[in-house]
Amino acid sequence: MTNTLTTENSQLRNQLKLLLEQAHRNQQIMQRYQEFDLKFISSNTFQELIDSVFDTLTEASELDVVTLSLIDPDAEIRRILTDLRIDVSDYPNLIFIEQGVDEITHPARKPSIGPYSTMQHRRLFPDTVLKPNSVAILPLIRRNALIGWLSLGSLDQERFTSGMASDFLQHRASIVAICVENVINNERLQHIGLTDPLTGVNNRRYVERRLLEEVGRTQRHGYSLSAMYIDLDFFKKVNDNYGHQGGDEVLREVAARIKAELRLSDALGRFGGEEFVVLLIDASLDAAVVVAERIRASVCNIPIALTTGENLRVTVSIGVSNLKAIGRKEETAAAAQQFLAKADQALYLAKQGGRNKVVSAE
């Protein structure tokens, strides 16, 4: 009798120990997820959010591959990110779905959990990422609209099986959906605040902000920084002859032509009226003059076609300057201003010299 009791007691103790261990493991898992949710919710920028999805979620959930697909029919999100200098090609697990949304999953608004199928899942796990053996495809829904998918993949075939409960996963997807919407809206606002609404290029605030960053970077890394002041010639006449609407069209076209001659890393901003400023990163004065000549030629060589059917030729004058080495860090702001002022003075000389000219400051 005593023996039986002792055996039962020991079995119960073992069971209790196992239960406690399981509870402890579950608590650790919950804690990991809570930490993940907090990190996720506190992401302010798209970059932070992406890092949370691809690093923290993959690690916290012990997954082999996670992708985030965003429905972006007009490539608007992609454009905003590019304008904010986020190189989307750095993120192979970030996928933009521009068309064929209906072909992605069936049913599109319900989680789909089970074995990986090339036919069904290839667009959510493109060739650039690891191919999983089992997947959970979680639709991201905000205000009743499907905005994309969070796709979780594991090399373990048993990790995601068809009958699996999806509430927990769907809860995670709802948090991701809210955060995706928030950061995209934040980036949109940021983008609006730094963009000139007429031409779509950056505004003065953006260029002034970049100027200080770039001057600091140039000093640290020892490469060359150049600037251009570009001003349309006799623009008042364009307005007088073709109306304000015609003038606006010319500004838009000239902005596009300038942009087409620049590198993605350069900064172009409309400083107001008919004046643009460009910061040329890693460009000597000579190299900047070559770019300026290209811009001048691209504006004056081809007439601008207005929506009224009229064609007109316009020209620009350009002043170019190069940043000289700065002695002390405290002098950065003053040197940055002087650097731009020199391009402005060179522009003045280009106007004085007859317009449709490039002048570089010594």
Q: What string marks each residue from 194 to 223 as x (binds ligand GTP by CB under 6 A) or -?
A: ----x-------------------------
Restricted to residues 247-266, the positions that interact with ligand GTP (CB under 6 A) are 247-248, 251
Cβ proximity to ligand GTP, 237 vs 324, nearer residue: 237
Assess 233 for contact with ligand GTP (CB under 6 A). Answer: yes
Cβ proximity to ligand GTP, 110 vs 205, nearer residue: 205
User: Among all chains, which residue has been given the structure tokens 């004046």?
Assistant: 275
Long-range contacts of 50-55, Cβ-Cβ distance < 8 Å, separation of 24 or more: 50/91, 50/94, 52/179, 53/93, 53/150, 53/176, 54/91, 54/93
319 and 289 in contact (C-beta within 8 Å)?
Answer: no
Cβ proximity to ligand GTP, 223 vs 348, nearer residue: 348
Q: Which two tokens stand for residue 115?
A: 């074995």
Q: Give the integer Cα–Cα distance in Å for 163 and 166.
A: 9
Cβ proximity to ligand GTP, 123 vs 204, nearer residue: 204
Write down the least CB distance from residue 248 to ligand GTP, Å. 5
For ligand GTP, which residue of 73, 92, 193, 273 counts as binding (CB under 6 A)?
Answer: 273
Q: 222 to each of 214, 216, 228, 283, 331, how far by Cα in Å?
A: 11, 10, 20, 12, 16
Write down the least CB distance from residue 330 to ligand GTP, Å. 35
339 and 325 in contact (C-beta within 8 Å)?
Answer: no
Q: What angle do CA 160, 163, 165 make, to 5 degrees?
A: 75
The region of 76-84, 95-103, 239-247, 301-309 touching ligand GTP under the rule CB under 6 A is 239-247
Assess 277 for contact with ligand GTP (CB under 6 A). Answer: no
User: Among all chains, which residue has been given the structure tokens 């020199």?
Assistant: 342
Assess 235 for contact with ligand GTP (CB under 6 A). Answer: yes
Q: Give the residue from 280, 293, 355, 351 showing the smallest Cα distance to 321.
A: 280
Residues with catalytic roles: 274
| Closest CB to ligand GTP: residue number | 247
Q: Which two tokens stand for residue 245?
A: 């609407």
The region of 181-189, 219-227, 233-241, 328-336 touching ligand GTP under the rule CB under 6 A is 233-241
Assess 352 for contact with ligand GTP (CB under 6 A). Answer: no
Contacts of 81 (CB under 8 A, 6+ apart): 46, 88, 187
Size of the site for ligand GTP (CB under 6 A): 16
The region of 110-118, 134-142, 229-237, 285-293 touching ligand GTP under the rule CB under 6 A is 229-237
Write down the least CB distance from residue 352 to ligand GTP, Å. 10
Cβ proximity to ligand GTP, 92 vs 273, nearer residue: 273
User: Among all chains, which residue has been given the structure tokens 């006799």?
Assistant: 234
Backbone torsions φ then ψ of 167, nearest 5 degrees? -55, -45
Backbone torsions φ then ψ of 127, nearest 5 degrees? -60, -20
The region of 176-184, 189-197, 242-250, 318-326 touching ligand GTP under the rule CB under 6 A is 242-250
For ligand GTP, which residue of 239, 284, 337, 338 counts as binding (CB under 6 A)?
Answer: 239
Q: Kindly list the residues in this chain that would bind ligand GTP in the complex (CB under 6 A).
A: 198, 231-236, 239, 244, 247-248, 251, 273-274, 351, 355
